[in-house]
Structures are given as C-alpha cells and as structure tokens.
C-alpha cells in the first residue's frame, strides 16, 4: 500500500539549509543586548513595523530552517534543527519510534529531526545543549516574532539545565 503524501502545512522533518557552525556565529551577532532590546520594544509598539519585521523573519527562517513560527525559538539549543518540524512537535528529544537507521516513525523515508539535531550540535561542539529541558510551547505566541521575544527576554527560561534545579516541587500528601 502506498503511503499518502504529507498534508500541506503539517510538520515534516526539515534538514536546515545552512550549517550549524555558521548559525552559531550568526547567533553571536544577534545575541540580545541593550540596543536590540530597545529596537524590539519600539517594533512592538508599531504594529505595521512589527508585521513587516515578522514577515522577514518568517520568510528567512522558513527557508533556512523550516521554521513554523512558534514564537519561542529553540534553534540555538538544538544544533539549529527546528523541533517544531517533528511531526509530533516534540521539544525534548525524539519519540520512541525512531528507526534503527535514524529515520522518522511518521515519515520513514525522512531522517528524524532530533537525529539531525544531535548530529549538527555534536559536530559543532554543542552536544551538551541537548540535555537541556524545554518548557512546554506557549501556543499563544504562534506567528509572533521569536527574535523580538528573545531580545525582550521572554525566552530567558525557555530551556533549563535539569541538573541545576529540582524538576518538581515536593508536595506533601496527608
């Protein structure tokens, strides 16, 4: 039986079009600072400029990384492979269905995006990023600019090192 083609718009694993090492260098240029924070705050106060800026972000990141505009970008911690292109949109590593050759359970002809993330991050010396724990996606941020959110500090706790803090508060049950 032939497998139906993925439905348009549904997430499918995406192999980034630019290298991880170049992306890390780019990130260093775009790292949050006072100037970017002021620019981001001004853009948020000007709806037309915000929309134009967000369009540029969407078009460029869609083409380079398969971005789906979740508005809370995980790329710097995943070897610049977008976890939102995982058909299950898993942000904390692959599901249990990855095939022994590293392909996706949902699209067996494609490489699992988390395998791609692992290959890219380790090759660029950022393998330890993959141990970070990501908070759940806030879908209210969908279609908003992740660059602006990042510059305004909204991503500060997007991913944490689970070894640096208890995962859950201890609740006494009487």
Which chain residues interact with ligand SF4 by CB under 6 A?
A: 61, 65, 67-70, 73-75, 82, 84, 146
- CB of residue 8 to ligand SF4, shortest distance in Å: 17
Exposed e or buried b for every residue in 6-19, given b needs 16+ CB within 10 A?
A: eeeeebbbbebeee
Closest to ligand SF4 by CB, 40 or 82: 82
Structure tokens at 128: 């330890």
Number of Cβ within a 10 Å radius of residue 152: 17
| Nearest distance, CB of residue 74 and ligand SF4, angstroms | 4
* Beta carbon of residue 89, minimum distance to ligand SF4 (angstroms, whole number): 9
In the complex with ligand SF4, which residue's Cβ is closer, 31 or 99? 31
C-beta of 7 vs 163, nearer to ligand SF4: 7
Residue 167 CB, shortest distance to ligand SF4, in Å, is 22
In terms of CB distance, is 65 or 151 closer to ligand SF4? 65
């Amino acid at each position: 039986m032939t497998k139906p083609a993925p439905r348009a718009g549904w997430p499918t694993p995406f192999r980034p079009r630019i290298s991880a090492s170049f992306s890390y260098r780019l990130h260093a240029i775009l790292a949050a600072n006072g100037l970017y924070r002021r620019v981001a705050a001004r853009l948020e106060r000007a709806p037309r400029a915000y929309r134009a800026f967000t369009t540029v972000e969407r078009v460029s990141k869609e083409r380079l990384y398969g971005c789906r505009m979740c508005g809370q970008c995980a790329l710097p911690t995943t070897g610049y492979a977008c976890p939102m292109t995982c058909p299950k949109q898993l942000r904390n590593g692959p599901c249990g269905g990855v095939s022994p050759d590293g392909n996706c359970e949902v699209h067996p002809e494609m490489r699992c995006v988390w395998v791609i993330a692992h290959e890219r991050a380790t090759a660029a010396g950022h393998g330890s990023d993959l141990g970070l724990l990501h908070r759940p996606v806030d879908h209210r941020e969908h279609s908003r600019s992740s660059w602006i959110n990042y510059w305004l500090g909204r991503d500060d706790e997007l991913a944490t090192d689970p070894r640096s803090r208890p995962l859950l508060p201890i609740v006494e049950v009487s």
